[in-house]
């Protein structure tokens, strides 16, 4: 009996069922031969609280709701299910705290066995019954009546799912035994606002215009309207979301979706994932759970690309052909082989019908598995082991695929052959490319600039890599054959060194070309840039000056010397162009070995005169006075001067002072013939005055 005291089952109000009740006032039906008879109204025991708990709070997405109705169609032996919805449209909107419906409808229609009025009232409108244990249903309810399918439904709450997105549900179904005029129609509407607000009580859905009439074909159509503020995904996303919820591929069950506005049709199939070559693991195993062997079949793999959308992410777990849960890693902790790939590319499909067999281990709303149960815990531990197994086996395949992507997008191997004529150096470059390409970000490689930059980095480093590797082999050689092996290794190392220096020389020539362009400028900002360029690349002044790394000692020397000079002479001087201040330096201090280099470059066409000599002598004297008394100069043995100008013109005492300065070993003057020659050569020739 129902809580309201009325008999349950198809006897109440049934036509073509197991009995017929007294007519209810105001409800008529077309009977065979054109007769009309009043029939009893539909009834269900429910409340808004129940609807909220089993509908609104569990199902808040359009695809989730539609999936519930599709599973009902499957259980009704349907072969075709058609969904019509306004794809990509908002169903309602919230304005000033009020939900305003936009007049849309969503329908889900199937060609299953349907329901006559008695079946609708006796089965469909009962909430929370386990259909699989209901003795009133054929095959005990665990199998569908005609096709013998293992039914997906169990809890008896899916009928309330539409209330998660709407406030009005219209049910039109034709079923029961086929009569002379076809199948009897049950047609009624349920409204959320009409349901009792307190405890569960009788609620009578409103019969529709086709109720108790006849239909030539069986089937059910559910129409939803009067929506909450929800949005339908676009057609492609909607099809993916529905397809993910079912393990499709069954020859006698098809789902299609139609855009209600454009009429465009979206075919729904199982979720397809591009799997990375060499990563897929087929599964057909038994999990030991307290002595019981629980079968899990399916596969796991790495996707070809990181997740593009949520529908392909992780491992999908199905029970009886319907999604029960999805997991990214079975809750596995950090620190295992292939972890990065697992976190971003794990995909798979598992089938575990025992999750929904004797013991129901699927959470309401099909949001997750009840992992805390004994079987759930055994399943999770097994899944973690599978994840670790995949991480170990797939790592090499993923790295190789990353290198292939890099090689294809950068054309790296061809570039290595063109850059290095010696095959051994080219092979070293390819080896370096494989090492870097295997850990490259494959998505970033879609940017041509990124791929080209990575290629250039590897080609530039390849000779150094070969040189270091060969010298390391030399250091490790021992035994009577070591001398012969070392000879060959040193020969290979020399090839690498030549290739390395060739790249440096090529880069220097390019830099000199840029210097020639900048040196021709007369305005101040260009002159500052020339100073900075020379300070960063001192070999442009003297080929022997090669700065391998930034010197903190030199920076300290500059700072302290400038501060000392300001206090001593009351004049602010600048000794570097690298500080970004934009002020032309008086001269530049550089270091080469344990020597301080005082470098001064005069403006174009400037001829060195008496005043310049006096200033120069003042700077040299200041440095000579500073060095013995400050620890910043402890590791500096001497001071050396380099002047770059376009000529000299002085006489008398200034000339003698200049000549004395040049003749001393501490100070040397190396003037080039002209600025043009400076820019055209890798360095000026030393020419002592």
pLDDT tens for residues 294-317? 999 999 998 877 767 777 788 999
In a domain, residue 534? The reply is yes
Instruction: State residue 210's pLDDT score.
Output: 96
Q: Are residues 438 and 529 in the same domain?
A: no
**What is the rounded CA–CA span in Å between residue 143 and residue 679?**
90
In a domain, residue 34? The reply is yes
Q: Which long-range contacts (CB under 8 A, 24 or more apart) does 663-672 make?
A: 666/638, 666/639, 666/640, 667/620, 667/639, 667/640, 667/641, 668/640, 668/641, 668/642, 669/641, 669/642, 669/643, 670/542, 670/642, 670/643, 671/608, 671/643, 671/644, 671/645, 672/644
- Per the confidence metrics, is the pTM higher than 0.75? no
**What is the rounded CA–CA span in Å between residue 603 and residue 644?**
9
- The CATH number of residue 391's host domain is 3.30.230
Q: Are residues 215 and 97 in the same domain?
A: yes
Instruction: State residue 159's pLDDT score.
Output: 84
Q: Are residues 397 and 418 in the same domain?
A: no
- The CATH number of residue 574's host domain is 3.40.1340
- Spell out the residues 6+ positions from residue 158 whose beta carbon is closer than 8 angstroms to its own: 68, 69, 71, 72
Q: Are residues 415 and 400 in the same domain?
A: no
Instruction: State residue 683's pLDDT score.
Output: 40
> Residue 134 pLDDT > 90, yes or no?
no
Last residue of a domain, one of 268, 290, 307: 268
- The CATH number of residue 191's host domain is 3.30.565.10
Instruction: State residue 379's pLDDT score.
Output: 93
In a domain, residue 18? The reply is no
In a domain, residue 6? The reply is no
Q: Are residues 69 and 209 in the same domain?
A: yes
Q: Are residues 398 and 417 in the same domain?
A: no
Q: Are residues 206 and 322 in the same domain?
A: no
**What is the rounded CA–CA span in Å between residue 98 and residue 94?**
5
Instruction: State residue 177's pLDDT score.
Output: 94
Q: Are residues 594 and 624 in the same domain?
A: yes
Q: Are residues 539 and 463 in the same domain?
A: no
Last residue of a domain, one of 453, 484, 512: 512
> Residue 360 pLDDT > 70, yes or no?
yes
pLDDT band at 133 (very low <50, low <70, confident <90, very high): low
Number of domains comprising the chain: 4
In a domain, residue 23? The reply is no
Q: Are residues 225 and 296 in the same domain?
A: no
**What is the rounded CA–CA span in Å between residue 228 and residue 165?**
5
Q: Supply the DSSP symbol for 643.
A: E
Q: Are residues 384 and 435 in the same domain?
A: no
Last residue of a domain, one of 404, 439, 472: 404
> Residue 678 pLDDT > 70, yes or no?
no
Chain segment 474-504, per-residue pLDDT in tens: 556 555 555 555 455 455 555 555 555 655 6
Averaged pLDDT, 42-52: 82
CB of 633 within 8 A of CB of 626? yes
Helix, strand or coil, per DSSP, at residue 306:
coil
**What is the rounded CA–CA span in Å between residue 88 and residue 232?**
5
**What is the rounded CA–CA span in Å between residue 375 and residue 146?**
32
Mean pLDDT of the chain: 76
> Residue 292 pLDDT > 50, yes or no?
yes
Chain segment 569-598, per-residue pLDDT in tens: 888 888 887 765 567 788 888 776 667 778
Residue-range definition of the domain harbouring residue 458: 411-512
In a domain, residue 13? The reply is no
In a domain, residue 203? The reply is yes
Q: Are residues 481 and 416 in the same domain?
A: yes
In a domain, residue 416? The reply is yes
């Amino acid at each position: 009996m129902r809580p309201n005291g009325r008999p349950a089952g198809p006897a109440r109000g049934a036509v073509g069922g197991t009995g017929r009740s007294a007519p209810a006032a105001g409800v008529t039906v077309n009977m065979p031969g054109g007769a009309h008879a009043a029939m009893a109204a539909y009834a269900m025991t429910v409340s808004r609280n129940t609807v909220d708990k089993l509908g609104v709070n569990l199902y808040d997405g359009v695809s989730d709701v539609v999936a519930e109705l599709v599973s009902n169609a499957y259980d009704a032996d349907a072969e075709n299910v058609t969904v019509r919805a306004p794809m990509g449209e908002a169903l309602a909107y919230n304005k000033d705290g009020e939900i305003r419906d936009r007049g849309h409808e969503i329908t889900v229609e199937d060609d299953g066995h349907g329901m006559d009025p008695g079946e609708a009232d006796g089965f469909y409108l009962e909430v929370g019954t386990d259909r699989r244990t209901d003795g009133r249903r054929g095959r005990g309810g665990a199998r569908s009546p005609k096709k013998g399918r293992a039914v997906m439904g169990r809890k008896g709450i899916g009928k309330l799912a539409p209330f998660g997105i709407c406030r009005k549900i219209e049910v039109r179904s034709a079923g029961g035994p086929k009569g002379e005029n076809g199948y009897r129609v049950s047609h009624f509407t349920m409204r959320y606002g009409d349901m009792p607000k307190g405890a569960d009580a009788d609620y009578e859905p409103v019969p529709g215009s086709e109720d108790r009439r006849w239909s030539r074909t069986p089937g059910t159509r559910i129409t939803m309207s009067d929506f909450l503020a929800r949005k339908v995904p676009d057609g492609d996303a909607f099809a993916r979301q529905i397809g993910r919820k079912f393990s499709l591929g069954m020859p006698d069950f098809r789902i299609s979706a139609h855009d209600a506005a454009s009429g465009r049709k979206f075919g729904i199939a199982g979720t397809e994932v591009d799997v990375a070559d060499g990563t897929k693991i087929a599964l057909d195993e038994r999990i030991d759970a307290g002595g019981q062997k629980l079968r899990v079949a399916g596969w796991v793999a790495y996707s070809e690309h990181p997740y593009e959308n949520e529908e392909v992410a992780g491992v999908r777990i199905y029970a009886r052909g319907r999604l029960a849960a999805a997991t990214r890693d079975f809750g596995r902790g950090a620190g295992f082989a292939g972890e990065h790939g697992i976190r971003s590319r794990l995909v798979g499909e598992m089938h575990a019908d025992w999750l929904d067999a004797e013991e129901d281990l699927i959470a309401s709303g099909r949001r997750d598995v009840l992992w805390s149960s004994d079987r759930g815990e055994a399943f999770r531990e097994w899944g973690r082991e599978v994840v670790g197994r995949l991480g170990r086996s797939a790592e090499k395949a993923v790295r190789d695929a990353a290198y292939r992507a890099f090689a294809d997008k950068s054309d790296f191997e061809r570039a290595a052959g063109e850059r290095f004529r010696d095959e051994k150096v080219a092979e070293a470059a390819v080896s370096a490319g494989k090492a870097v390409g295997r850990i490259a970000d494959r998505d970033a490689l879609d940017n041509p600039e990124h791929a080209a930059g990575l290629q250039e980095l590897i080609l530039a480093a390849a000779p150094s890599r070969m040189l270091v590797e060969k010298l390391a082999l030399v250091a490790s050689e021992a035994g009577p054959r070591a001398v012969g092996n070392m000879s060959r290794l040193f020969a290979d190392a020399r090839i690498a060194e030549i290739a390395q220096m060739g790249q440096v020389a090529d880069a220097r020539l390019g830099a000199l070309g840029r210097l020639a362009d900048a040196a021709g400028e007369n305005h101040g900002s260009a002159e500052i840039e020339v100073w900075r360029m020379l300070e960063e690349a001192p070999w442009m002044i003297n080929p022997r000056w090669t700065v391998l790394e930034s010197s903190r000692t030199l920076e300290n020397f500059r700072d302290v010397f400038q501060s000392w000079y300001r206090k001593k002479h009351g004049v602010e001087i600048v000794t570097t162009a690298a500080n970004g201040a934009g002020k032309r330096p008086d001269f530049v201090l550089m270091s080469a070995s344990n020597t301080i280099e005082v470098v001064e470059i005069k403006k174009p066409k400037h001829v060195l005169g008496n005043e310049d000599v006096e200033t120069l002598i003042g700077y040299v004297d200041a440095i000579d006075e500073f060095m013995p008394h400050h620890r910043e100069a402890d590791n500096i043995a001497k001071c050396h001067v380099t002047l770059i100008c376009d000529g000299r013109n002085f006489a008398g005492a200034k000339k003698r002072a200049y000549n004395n300065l040049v003749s001393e070993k501490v100070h040397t003057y190396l003037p080039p013939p002209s600025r043009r020659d400076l820019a055209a050569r890798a360095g000026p020739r030393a020419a002592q005055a």
